[in-house]
Amino acid sequence: MATTLQRVLFTLAIVVTVSQAAPSRSSKCPSRCVSCSNGIAECSKRSLITPPKDFPSGIRTIVMDNNHLRVLGTRSFQKLGNVEVLRLKGNKVRVVKKAAFAKLPKLMTLDLSNNQLVKIYSKGFEGMRNLQTLSLQDNRIRSIARIFDYTPRLFQLNLAFNKLRAIGKNDLKVPTRIHYLDLRDNRITKIHPEAFLHLETLRYLFLNKNPLVTVPDMKFSTNVLQLVDFDNCKLTHVPTTMPSSVSDFRLSDNNIMQINDTDFANMTHLRLLALNNNQLHFVANRALDGLTGLEELWLRNNKLVYVPRRIPDNLQKLYMDSNMIQEIEDGLFTNTSRLHYINVENNKINGIHNQTFKGLRFLKSVNFRSNRLRVIESGTFSALRNLSTLSLSNNPLEKIEDGAFHDLGNLTSLHLDMCGERITLEQNFLPEMPNLKTLSMMNSPGLGKAFVKMIEETPMVPLKHLKDVDLTYNDIHTMSPNIQEVFPALDALSIDGNSWLCDTRLAWLRDWMVHSDIKFSKYEPVICEQPYTLKSREIRDLDADEFAEVAPEPQTPSQEEYDRMMRDKSIADNAPVADAPADNLRVADSLSDKPQAADGNNLVPYNMREDPALAAVTPIGPTTPAPESPTTKRLRKHRKHRKGGKKRGQRKGKGKGRKRRGKKGKGRKRRNKNSKDANTVVEKST
């Protein structure tokens, strides 16, 4: 009995010893992998030709991206009952054979994207009853017939960037639970009307970037479809028969030319409609009638000449930039409209009626950039108490009427860039915007100078919330220190690109630049333009005694003085030369001569001296004899010699009066060969 017991104990000891000496296969990471920790086996970029074996039993995710796997079959993977995620992205897999993943029964996510897949056997996914997410994008798949028969729980299927040419009636006739189907960027030209009929749980359908041209009246059984994307499909008409559940319908980058009354009749839950970059020139009056829940309408870059009528009251965002709109009619928006944002940038709008936006109490942002607006009428943007952003940049504005921006208490951003060189402001509208934070007038000399002048001459209530002011490239010469009081909370005052006259009136600006944290330049340093001795010097680097003395500003003639001078000029031009009084008029030798005066009473203003029309005859008051020109002097001497009876060159004697022959040069005499009188001489023209 004892002997038997000893033998049993000895056998157990051997078993324990062996088990301790030989480590379990389930605790060791394959040598060709980088690591196995936290349930993840990392085997990427290891130049693997076949999948490794002997993974630990606790592994749930295997990553083998960017290797050299080519074929997947029944022997490719060992029995791994706990693996849920398998990533094989960026390999060279061309074929998936029968039951390639059957030994991974709990697999839920399979990523085969960015491979070279050409063929998947009909039973390639056999045994994958738990698969939910399958990515096959970026391959060379041409057909998907019957390959999903063994994936009943498939939830998300990505087939983008392949070479599919058609979706047949039975290609997706499988008992799946697909919610997400991505077929974008293939070569699909034909879709069977019942291709999606069996996808009862489909929510997201992407068919964009396929050369479809036309779409049949498709049938759907799903009542939960939310998004359908037909962008860039070369469509010429709107696909109809979409389920009423669709809330996001995308038809941009096509060739659609018109929207008919019934195109969206069934889409009662539509919230976003995108028709950007088409050839739209007509939208039927009742095309949007049934879209009572529409919140965003995208119609940018088309050929529309008007804003569609009968816009739903629930619409919040309207994008119509880059069309051919000429005006926005009155009555387009009702008092019950919930419009928040409107963008009509880059159109041909030449005017806004003062009743266009009346009653839009929810309006927050308006963009009229790059149109043809010349006048902003009184009341145009008045009483829009929720308006926070307004852009009128790049319009040839000539006038802003009094009351155009009345009561804009919540406006925080105003953009008036590139708005022309001349503009009439009937009102300083900044006090109507007490919460303004950003004011931009870049390259708008008329506005920029007008506001600088207002700040200097008119008392203003300080704008305590204004942080950023842009006055770049406005040809401003000087600025009043009052701006420090009007804008007391500035973080940035961009004033570079102007023609600063650095005289003592601008010395305060240098002190402000040196002693504050405000940013004064956006594109280049703030430099002096005048006087010449300070040209190109940075204002902040100047010493206090370097600023020039204030020079008198040039006087511009009044309209009455200008008219009188033009009348005098006209009389002088039409009068005979002999009658012109020599003491009041002088004939200028050239149009470039600068008019001069003996006293300052009749001096032509500086800004008229360069006018060629006024340079020929200039009133200058009492005059002194004009200096004699060289040509006049030679002619006078020539006449004097002729009166004396002898011509130069015929006198006898040697030396200076000797007759000269031969060479013709400057100041020499020559005979006129065309004259019958051999003694006739002419002076060579100078």
Q: Is 102 within a domain?
A: no
Residues 6+ positions from 387 with CB-CB distance below 8 Å: 363, 364, 365, 366, 381, 408, 410, 411
Q: Do residues 430 and 460 lie in contact, with contact meaning Cβ atoms separated by under 8 Å?
A: yes
The tens digit of pLDDT for each residue in 284-328 reads 999 999 999 999 999 999 999 999 989 999 999 999 999 999 998
Higher pLDDT, 399 or 564: 399
Higher pLDDT, 271 or 378: 271
Q: What is the DSSP string of 230-279?
A: -TTS--SS------TT--EEE--SS---EE-TTTTTT-TT--EEE--SS-
Question: Mean pLDDT throughout 193-217?
Answer: 95
Q: What is the DSSP string of 186-230?
A: S---EE-TTTTTT-TT--EEE--S---S---------S---EEE-
Q: Do residues 42 and 65 lie in contact, with contact meaning Cβ atoms separated by under 8 Å?
A: no
Q: What does the alpha-carbon distance between residue 540 and residue 521 come to, in Å, rounded to a whole number?
A: 11
Domain extent, residue 602, equals 574-615
Hey, what are 406's tokens? Answer: 């009345």
Q: What does the alpha-carbon distance between residue 70 and residue 237 come to, in Å, rounded to a whole number?
A: 43
Phi, psi of 509 (to 5 degrees): -65, -40
Q: What does the alpha-carbon distance between residue 18 and residue 11 come to, in Å, rounded to a whole number?
A: 11
Q: Is 171 within a domain?
A: no
The pTM for the full model equals 0.74
Residue 447: the pLDDT is: 92
**Average pLDDT of every residue of the chain:** 83
Q: What does the alpha-carbon distance between residue 213 and residue 22 come to, in Å, rounded to a whole number?
A: 67
Higher pLDDT, 256 or 545: 256
Q: Is 250 within a domain?
A: no
Q: Is 405 within a domain?
A: no
Number of domains the chain is built from: 1
Q: Is 605 within a domain?
A: yes
Hey, what are 393's tokens? Answer: 């940049």
Q: What does the alpha-carbon distance between residue 1 and residue 593 come to, in Å, rounded to a whole number?
A: 141
Beta bridge partners of 469: 439, 493
User: b/e string for 103-122 if b means 16 or more Cβ within 10 A?
Assistant: bbeebbbbbbbbbebeebee
Q: Do residues 509 and 476 lie in contact, with contact meaning Cβ atoms separated by under 8 Å?
A: no
Q: What does the alpha-carbon distance between residue 388 and residue 382 come to, in Å, rounded to a whole number?
A: 13
Q: Is 599 within a domain?
A: yes
Higher pLDDT, 668 or 380: 380
**Type of residue at 295:** E
The tens digit of pLDDT for each residue in 61-86 reads 999 999 999 999 999 998 888 999 99
Using a CB cutoff of 8 Å and minimum separation of 24, what contacts does 40-46 make? 43/67
The pairing of beta strand 40-42 with beta strand 35-37: antiparallel
The tens digit of pLDDT for each residue in 243-263 reads 999 999 999 999 999 999 999
Q: What does the alpha-carbon distance between residue 349 and residue 397 come to, in Å, rounded to a whole number?
A: 12
Q: Is 604 within a domain?
A: yes
Instruction: Say whether pLDDT at 498 is over 80.
Output: yes
Residues, the chain: 686
Q: Is 585 within a domain?
A: yes
